[in-house]
Amino acid sequence: MIDLLMLIVLNLTLFLIIIFILFCNFLPIIFRCLEKTIIITRGFVKHNEGFFSILFILLFALEQVILIGLTTYFREEANLLRLIISIFALVVITTASLQKFILETKEDMKMKQKDQ
């Protein structure tokens, strides 16, 4: 029984080492693909500022509508309400952070264009 367990652990360890080596070999390829995607995304954000402003306004409104609906529906269950409100707070903070990141990226692109 112990020999079988040791064999399983050894096989799992070898498998994880092989996966790690493969991941490290493909990491430059992954980074190149991400870089191309980021460049395309930056151009899209730059040319569609109004779209992103409206998108985030609608996204915040949708989040609030969902919160109101869930708190109304589950008003009798205090523990579930605490969980819903906590998750809502995390979603709003994440959305606001994403909006800030996109706007800062746009501003950085404008500053780089002015410097050139």
Centroid of chain to Cα 27: 19
Token pair 């790690």 is found at 20
pLDDT of 44 above 90: no
Same-domain status, 115 and 69: yes
Domain range enclosing 81: 49-116
Same-domain status, 23 and 66: no
Same-domain status, 43 and 60: no
| pLDDT tens readout for residues 73-96 | 888 888 888 888 999 999 999 999
**What's the whole-model pTM score?**
0.56
Same-domain status, 54 and 17: no
Query: CB-side exposure of 33: number of CA atoms within 13 Å?
Result: 5
Same-domain status, 54 and 93: yes
- In the chain, the number of structural domains is 2
**CB 63, CB 92: distance < 8 Å:** yes
pLDDT of amino acid 62:
92
Q: What is the mean pLDDT of residues 58-67?
A: 91
Measured distance CA(70)–CA(42) in Å, rounded: 35
Same-domain status, 98 and 80: yes
